[in-house]
Every structure is written in C-alpha cells, then in structure tokens.
Structure 1
Amino acid sequence: MLYAAHRAKHVYAVEPDPVAFGELKINVSLNSPITSKVTLINSAMSGKTGASQLYTRGMFGNAVSSLMPTVSDVSCEVQCITIADLISQYNIRDVNFVKMDIEGGEYTLILCLQEFLEEKRPTFYVSFHAPFLKENISLQGLSGMEAQNRFEQISKNVLGVLRMYKYIYDNHGNLLNEEDIRDRDYNGEFVFTDERW
C-alpha cells in the first residue's frame, strides 16, 4: 500500500482487522509524503454492507483474518461495505488498479464484483488462498469427493468471472492461462489485466 501511494493519485486501503488497521494507521502517519494520498477504511469488502464476523487463525493482526469461517472460533464483529457503496461514499472517480488479499474470502467476493470488474476493467491483483477455501469446505461436513467437487466448482466460477481479462500473470511476470491456476492446492498471487507486459 505504501509503494502504491507513491505511484498512484490516491489509494483507498480497506482493512477490517482491528489490530492490522491500527498498525496501518501508524505506518501511514510515519510516511508523511504520502499521508494525504491515502484514505484508510476500517471495514471489510463484502457482497453486502452491514455487520459480519471476522475470523482469525490465532490472533488479530497476524495477516490471516477473513470473513470466511475457519477452524478457529476466534472472531470479532466488523462492518462490511460493498464496492458500490465504497465508490459512492468516498466519491471515487477513477479505479484502475485493485489489489485483493483477503485470506480465502476472494472466492466469494470476486463473484460479487463481477459487474464492477466488467464496467471498470481495473488491473486486478489477487491472492488466491486455496488451502483456506478447502479448510472452509471441510467444515461443511462433505465427503472427500463432494468437497473436491465443491472446491473445483467454486474455482471454476471465480475464474469464469475473471475470463474477461486478456492476460493472466503470476507475481513474477510469467504469462499464464486459466488452466495454470485452476484447481491448485496452494496459495498464489496473480494479475489479471488487459495490458500486455
């Protein structure tokens, strides 16, 4: 986020984790050249605006909190905001880059962002957390084959939304195709864009 603030006109940083948000505020305040270019929002991006539970694997502030329930019962209530409400409330006019790293919640949120992504076509940098999705599916009591089929269907649906983009790159700049990232069992960062690198 700090790097982005040096490059972009303005950065809107959405962070629901109360501990991480406090640390984010401190980091921004210590970087006075970019402070005016950053708007911090203590909310979670979601398909609907309102209150929800934020879950963590241990303690808050450890970078693995998510709206997706986990094997841990540790949670807190947070406010959620939709992309439409975010754009409206903060009078955002130009969105050309979106970074999403929400610990498994991306599998739900991307489906809710379809209309926004189709209309704005921002370069979209997303971290997929397949192990967290599989963990969440396992909590639903499905058999091994049912769980695998559910995982594959969710992955297919998410990648179907992102199929509008011309190019997919990994975080090293390697050009990929959809088959390279479908059904993988590990975390990965990918850039979906209409720009050829």
Structure 2
Amino acid sequence: MVLGFVKSAGRAYYRAKGYFPATIRGNDFKLDPYHFAFWSAASQERWEPSTFDVITKYLSPEATYIDIGAWIGPTVLHAAKQCKQVYCFEPDPTALRFLNWNLDLNELHNVHALGVAVAAEAGLLKMATFGDNPGDSKTSLLQNEAQYFVHVLAITWADFIQKAQPENVSLIKIDTEGAEFDLIPTMREYLEDNRPALFLSTHAPYLDESKRMDAMAALLDALSFYPNIYDEFLKPIGRDEFLSRKASEEFGTYLFADD
C-alpha cells in the first residue's frame, strides 16, 4: 500500500512538473512523465543495457542511425547524442505522441521522426497491440484481426531510401513485433551493398507455430552475407543456434555485423 502511494505521488508530481528528469549513459534528459517508471529503469541500466552498448559502439559523430520501431524513444534519444542524424519510424499514434514529446522536451533537431510503418508493401494497413493498451510497445501489423485497431500508413524501404537518401548509415535497429519476417527480405540488396550493423528483434511466437522455424530460416537466408551474429548479450552465436527450435519459440534480439 505504501509503495502504491509513493508511485501515485511520484506520478502526480512529475506530471505537474511537466517532465521526468533522468540521466541515460551520461546524458541528461527531460522525459515524458507518463512513463517515469520506465525512464527510471532505463537510467539505472535496468532496461536493455546491451542495446545502449550497441548504439554507442556503432555510432560516431558523422554517422546516421535508423530506428524502425522506435516506440517512445529510448534508443532514439541516446543515438541522437552519438551521431549526426537519426531517422526513426513509429506508426502507433499513441507511442508517436510520446516520442515527439520527448524529442521536443530535449530539443533534438537532428532526429527525423516519421509516423509511418516500414513494410514489405506500401499502403494503408491495420495494426493493433498484442498487449493491453495502445502505445505499449507491442503494436504489430500482424495483429490486424483484433477488435480494436488503427489504420496506419506504410512505406517500403526502397521508397524511404530513394526519397531520404540517408548517408553513412552505420546502424539500423528493427523492432517491429513480427513484421520483420516480411520486411527484411525487401531490404537485402541495400543491407548487402552498404553493410550497416543490424540490431534485430525477432518475434516468432507471434506467428503460427507451424511457420516459425521456416520464418527464422528465411530471415537468416536474407541476411546470410553477414559473417557474424551475436545474441542479446553480444556473445557470438552460430547459425545453428539462430535456427534452433528454442530461438523460434522465444522473442530474440540479435546483432548482425561484419566485425
């Protein structure tokens, strides 16, 4: 009861203040107060510290970072302090609202936040959450038969590259709640020609059980030109581990890289 009161009081205080102050990897930020518990965890290295490690390792002052599935912006905020420019995509309108709020609070003018999905085909698509609430980081193009859904605009990777022509892309992060299985093959030519490091989250459990292992195999085939694969703890793994039944039954995070 006491803990609940403290959380409620903290929530009310930061909402009245207009932001939650936090330091992430040495950089001070003003952050939306509606996610203050998450921001507190991120600042204390209790949320995906290896993700911040990857961003720090592969970005430089002249680099470009691309984030497909940016949510409310933890990776975007950190990356914006490390590189020249950031392109990020977040089609969920609720998450996008908080993402833009966080960018405005911190006056990050090197970030291009796009409220569209990057998908295998362009158009107007349905998406809904696999979780409980809009904007909860589990919104997916695969969850298009849910009772409550939103329509979102989608562009292809080829269209984005043609229009934006991003230079010196050194790292791409993809966390699209299952849409990666259709998206990655459409990106193969660009990835093979340019070889940015690819930080990829896989969501095989959102697929029909009979299709999971084949989907993981197709994903690996599309990325076969990368010589090295690392797990979420940045430990090298073999291709057989990526193709294991265990990997197809769990949510995974992998780094594909030349080094």
Bin of the TM-score, shorter chain as denominator length: 0.7 to 0.9
- Which of residues 198, 206, 221 is equivalent to 1:160? 221
Q: Alpha-carbon deviation of 1:70?
A: 6.1
Change (3 A) 1:83 1:71: closer
Q: Alpha-carbon deviation of 1:99?
A: 0.1
Instruction: Tell me the matched-pair count.
Output: 180
Name the structure 2 match of 1:107: 181
Q: Secondary structure at the match of 1:96?
A: strand
Taking structure 1 as the reference length, what is the TM-score of the superposition?
A: 0.86
Whether the 8 Å CA contact 1:171–1:189 is kept in 2: the answer is yes
- Which of residues 127, 131, 142 is equivalent to 1:54? 127
User: Are 2:104 and 1:29 aligned?
Assistant: yes
* Ranges in structure 2 where 5+ consecutive residues have no aligned partner: 1-75
Q: Secondary structure at the match of 2:233?
A: coil
RMSD over equivalenced CA pairs, Å: 1.5
Whether the 8 Å CA contact 2:140–2:178 is kept in 1: the answer is yes
RCO higher in structure (CA 8 A, sep ≥6): 1
Name the structure 1 match of 2:258: 194
Find the aligned partners of 1:73 and 1:166 in 2 and give their Cα distance.
43
User: Are 2:102 and 1:15 aligned?
Assistant: no
Q: Alpha-carbon deviation of 1:88?
A: 2.4
Q: Secondary structure at the match of 1:36?
A: coil
* Ranges in structure 1 where 5+ consecutive residues have no aligned partner: 138-146
Question: Which of the two has higher C-alpha Rg?
Answer: 2
Q: Secondary structure at the match of 1:4?
A: helix
Taking structure 2 as the reference length, what is the TM-score of the superposition?
A: 0.66
- Which of residues 125, 139, 150 is equivalent to 1:76? 150
Q: Alpha-carbon deviation of 1:25?
A: 0.2
Q: Alpha-carbon deviation of 1:191?
A: 0.3
Identity %: 31
User: Are 2:109 and 1:39 aligned?
Assistant: no
Q: Secondary structure at the match of 1:7?
A: coil
